[in-house]
Structure 1
Amino acid sequence: MNRILAIIIFFISISTFGQSETNDSLKYEYKVEKLNSDFFKDERTVKIYLPPDYDKTQKYPVIYTLDGYELFGITTNYENFLAKYSVIPNCIVIGVFHNDRNYETTPNYGNNINIPTNQLLEGSEKLKNHLYKEIIPLINSKYSVSGFNILIGHSNTATLASQIISMPNNPFRGIIAITPDLLKEQIESLKNTLDKERNQNIYYFVSSGTKDDKYRFETGKKLDSILKKNTNIKVKSKQEIYSAGHLDLVVKSLNDALMFMFSDYRNYNDFRTKVIENKLSISDYIKAKSNSTNENYGINFNLDEDDFYYLLDLVIAQKNSNLLEQLFEVGEKNEFFAKEESYSQKAQLYEEMELYDEALENWKLQIENGYTENVFYYERPFIVIYEKLNKPKEAIDFLESSIKKYPKGKLIFSYDIAKVCAEREIYKNKGLKNIEYCIKEFKENRKFTLSEAEELKTKLEH
């Protein structure tokens, strides 16, 4: 049994980008655990980053970084910002540190004919076992993990990470390999593994640099070829080429890699097609997303407000009133609409779809049930009645009732009444009465000037 020697808490800072209201540095906490390895027969270092507001009742994907001295800090930084903006879910990040990197990570290039190239050299085999049987069990026992593990490697450890995909009992569903170097036989073994049927998705991201070692760049191109030919729907793979050298490739590609690992998180790319086909139940769609997110990442799915309004925009663009009604139910259930202005928000969405009767109904409900201390809530339905539905007499009736409900708006409403009377040449006396009130009680406003009111009166008198 491994003995935990110490838990030391450190605080490190990263600089914020862009504008900051407080100008404070963001801070995050990580723990350092020391453990004795039965495989290496020495003490090993593991760093553990927990996301802000870590909650043991929630589940978290875990990102394991080999080459901890190089990859732990930058991965934690990227995760911190991507999760802050909900591009990826909150994750635990683990830094695996090597005592003798050369011994632990040198790939098997076939120099020893007694060790087949699909097997690891002694040091790498120990590192794999240390990871499988000591580090992962430790993390699983101490923290609330979702079961979705990602392994990140750079250079030699990218080669190891790529080979682990083909090895028995692989505990990783996501592999990020930044400039790996694989032999032909190792690439073929990887291809055969990816071709096999599997129950769960696997995500494999490879990055290569045009300024890097030519053998590593060639590995990237060969991997790209087999990944593009792969037809296994459970294999999500991508190879990207960057204008980068061996070291800056990490900085340039890691952000893309992390986003790719969670490309099925908050993914609504299929929604537009389903809307166009008009074969969609919103509740069933959201339920399917929930099931898919849990299946892929072991975490709960939560439709957030940004996604809700994105889906609304797609529905409005297709003028699908049935789906709009379904989304309204989702919005109300999740309280995405401001409580006091829910009807006005719906009304404006109906207007966008040119469903003016439905828009008017909701404007009236807003006046009866919501916040209405502004002429806006009366002028908008007036415009719908007068301009969209072309009902000038009903528009005047509506404005006269609005004066009773919101006396503070009388100056504006009276001007609108007079303007309708003048434009449609109806109710001349009513028009004159209202414009005379506007001139007598005139106050500076955004609707009209005194000279405009006087011009309108002249028009009504002739």
Structure 2
Amino acid sequence: MKVILIYIFTLLIGLGNIFGQEYSLYSNDKLSIESEYLQETIDLNLHLPETQAFSANTTKYPITIIFDSQHERTYPLIINSIDLLTSETQIPESIIIGVPFNFQNRLYLTSSQKRGNDSLSGIERMELFLFNELIPQLQNKYKGNGYISFIGHSRTAFLVNYLAFKRPDQINLAVSLSGFFNDAPLSLNTFHNFLADGSNFPYKFSYYYTAGTSLEESTYLVQYRNLDSLMRKKSISENVKVLFSITPNANHITNYWVSLPPILIDAFSSYNSILDSWFHDESKAESIDNPLQQFEMDLEQAGKSIGVNLNPNLTHIFSLASHYANKEDYLTAIKFFELGLDYFPEYLELYVEIIELYKVLHNTEKISSYKGVLREKSMNSLYLTEAEKQEVIEYLDKK
């Protein structure tokens, strides 16, 4: 398999041209929206997953919206954490949006304050911007699906609480870091009764909330402990997951990012369990008769657990294909790479792998067929340089 790895490395040079290597698996772009509801143009952070540019029209991605992206130190740490968790298949790839605030608008856009004779409060305007402008654009233009996550801290954690309360049927994961409830239209009892009423949740909904134990976190910790105490006395709908955690010794800003990775790991644990069970559960490994079918069943089951149709990660595809290739089960390895093509038909490395495996099998008809496809796609690629395209042609012309 040495030849395959050499050509994989070569073609990945072209992939690097897309993202500039700031993050391994995500872009680092800006998205400007002239918002009717915010009455201004807002510049957002946009992080598209590695595979999005190579994906099929039917391949859709969860949407993760992170508030307070103006923090120059904490926000990049959050994106780097998501980058790592994605590469380790702890979480699925998602479209990530960072929403910045400033001293002039943060209180207004996260509270019931109104300006002049406006019929809408600032928080209502933010809600309408998110659901009527931002999310539809991400779904229509960037292949976002209906799985929506919100992550907020302090005042924007209150915003997360408010959005969850207002639109539980449109939010799947709400993460409230160092937040509170004692601001209109919410209160502790109002939010508790909301979470305890299963009729509010027709779909899977997870609510995670956390606070640190430092003195500056005490206000948030008291409110969150009070909610936790109330929730422990209630049985909740099977569609709902509510989990409180404490970050020992964390101060206010530290809790913004330190507590998020374990929350995401827990929220998407069934996704991570796929490869974990394949490689570390001997009884399961021995019982698999149809590897591809089993993987698709595992992916579907994880999706049902989380509440979203999931895509395989490239790590899934390459790990399982390599596993069977090393066992000299080349046809099964090819099937996994072909599954990857169902989701990511423009990801050229997959064609190279399939060609090399068919060489091992001496299947000249398949080699010729896949070489023809790879040649056409390479010449039409927007991400390969002319030199890299020539390198691919030289590879394809070798006997």
TM-score higher than 0.5 here? yes
SS in 2 for 1:208: strand
SS in 1 for 2:50: coil
Structure 1 counterpart of 2:67, one-letter code: L
> Which residue of 80, 92, 97 corresponds with 2:95?
92
Distance 1:282 1:186, change over 3 A: farther
Structure 1 counterpart of 2:190, one-letter code: S
Report the Cα offset of residue 286 of structure 1: 5.6
1:189 aligns to 2:195 (yes or no): no
1:300 aligns to 2:299 (yes or no): no
Report the Cα offset of residue 47 of structure 1: 1.7
Once the two structures are superposed, residues 249-288 of structure 1 have per-residue CA deviations (whole angstroms, 9 ceiling, x without a partner) of 1232011122223133233699999x79xx9999897665
**Runs of 5+ in structure 2 lacking a partner?**
1-17, 330-399
SS in 1 for 2:156: helix
Report the Cα offset of residue 143 of structure 1: 0.9
CA distance in structure 1 between the partners assigned to 2:245 and 2:290 by the alignment = 35
Distance 1:37 1:146, change over 3 A: closer
Once the two structures are superposed, residues 345-383 of structure 1 have per-residue CA deviations (whole angstroms, 9 ceiling, x without a partner) of xxxxxxxxxxxxxxxxxxxxxxxxxxxxxxxxxxxxxxx
Map 1:3-42; keep pairs closer than 5 Å: 13=22, 28-42=26-40
- Conserved 8 A contact 1:179-1:217: yes
Report the Cα offset of residue 48 of structure 1: 0.9
SS in 1 for 2:152: strand
- Residue in structure 1 matched with residue 179 of structure 2 by the alignment: 180
- Residue in structure 1 matched with residue 132 of structure 2 by the alignment: 133
- Residue in structure 1 matched with residue 239 of structure 2 by the alignment: 234
SS in 2 for 1:267: helix
Map 1:359-378; keep pairs closer than 5 Å: none
Distance 1:181 1:169, change over 3 A: closer
- Conserved 8 A contact 2:93-2:313: no
Structure 2 counterpart of 1:52, one-letter code: E
Structure 2 counterpart of 1:159, one-letter code: F
Structure 2 counterpart of 1:261, one-letter code: A
RMSD, aligned CA: 4.1
Structure 1 counterpart of 2:33, one-letter code: L
- Conserved 8 A contact 2:111-2:121: no
CA distance in structure 2 between the partners assigned to 1:258 and 1:136 by the alignment = 21
CA distance in structure 2 between the partners assigned to 1:290 and 1:199 by the alignment = 22
SS in 1 for 2:27: strand
Distance 1:288 1:35, change over 3 A: same
- Residue in structure 1 matched with residue 258 of structure 2 by the alignment: 252
- Residue in structure 1 matched with residue 159 of structure 2 by the alignment: 160
- Residue in structure 2 matched with residue 142 of structure 1 by the alignment: 141
Once the two structures are superposed, residues 391-443 of structure 1 have per-residue CA deviations (whole angstroms, 9 ceiling, x without a partner) of xxxxxxxxxxxxxxxxxxxxxxxxxxxxxxxxxxxxxxxxxxxxxxxxxxxxx
> Which residue of 267, 281, 289 corresponds with 1:261?
267
Map 1:362-441; keep pairs closer than 5 Å: none
CA distance in structure 1 between the partners assigned to 2:177 and 2:315 by the alignment = 32
Report the Cα offset of residue 12 of structure 1: 7.4
Report the Cα offset of residue 88 of structure 1: 0.9
- Residue in structure 2 matched with residue 204 of structure 1 by the alignment: 207
- Conserved 8 A contact 2:300-2:309: no
SS in 2 for 1:148: strand
Once the two structures are superposed, residues 167-219 of structure 1 have per-residue CA deviations (whole angstroms, 9 ceiling, x without a partner) of 14653201111111113962323233323143421111111011133221111
CA distance in structure 2 between the partners assigned to 1:74 and 1:230 by the alignment = 36
SS in 1 for 2:175: strand
CA distance in structure 2 between the partners assigned to 1:236 and 1:260 by the alignment = 11
- Residue in structure 2 matched with residue 355 of structure 1 by the alignment: none
Distance 1:204 1:169, change over 3 A: closer
Distance 1:339 1:30, change over 3 A: closer
- Residue in structure 2 matched with residue 48 of structure 1 by the alignment: 46
Moved more, 289-298 or 215-224: 289-298
- Conserved 8 A contact 1:106-1:121: no
Distance 1:79 1:27, change over 3 A: closer
Report the Cα offset of residue 146 of structure 1: 2.8
Distance 1:177 1:35, change over 3 A: same
CA distance in structure 1 between the partners assigned to 2:254 and 2:261 by the alignment = 12
SS in 2 for 1:166: helix
Distance 1:302 1:27, change over 3 A: closer
Report the Cα offset of residue 226 of structure 1: 3.6
- Conserved 8 A contact 1:88-1:265: yes
CA distance in structure 1 between the partners assigned to 2:231 and 2:289 by the alignment = 34
Distance 1:338 1:44, change over 3 A: closer
Structure 2 counterpart of 1:298, one-letter code: N
**Runs of 5+ in structure 1 lacking a partner?**
1-8, 15-25, 113-119, 309-330, 343-462
CA distance in structure 2 between the partners assigned to 1:249 and 1:82 by the alignment = 18
- Residue in structure 2 matched with residue 382 of structure 1 by the alignment: none
Map 1:254-293; keep pairs closer than 5 Å: 254-267=260-273, 289-293=298-302
CA distance in structure 2 between the partners assigned to 1:337 and 1:175 by the alignment = 39
Once the two structures are superposed, residues 223-246 of structure 1 have per-residue CA deviations (whole angstroms, 9 ceiling, x without a partner) of 322444443221122111012111
Distance 1:270 1:32, change over 3 A: closer
Report the Cα offset of residue 248 of structure 1: 0.7
CA distance in structure 2 between the partners assigned to 1:199 and 1:171 by the alignment = 10
Structure 2 counterpart of 1:254, one-letter code: L
Distance 1:270 1:164, change over 3 A: farther
Structure 2 counterpart of 1:263, one-letter code: S
Distance 1:46 1:302, change over 3 A: closer
CA distance in structure 2 between the partners assigned to 1:141 and 1:36 by the alignment = 17
Report the Cα offset of residue 121 of structure 1: 8.0
CA distance in structure 2 between the partners assigned to 1:270 and 1:187 by the alignment = 40
CA distance in structure 2 between the partners assigned to 1:193 and 1:303 by the alignment = 39
The structure with the larger Rg is 1
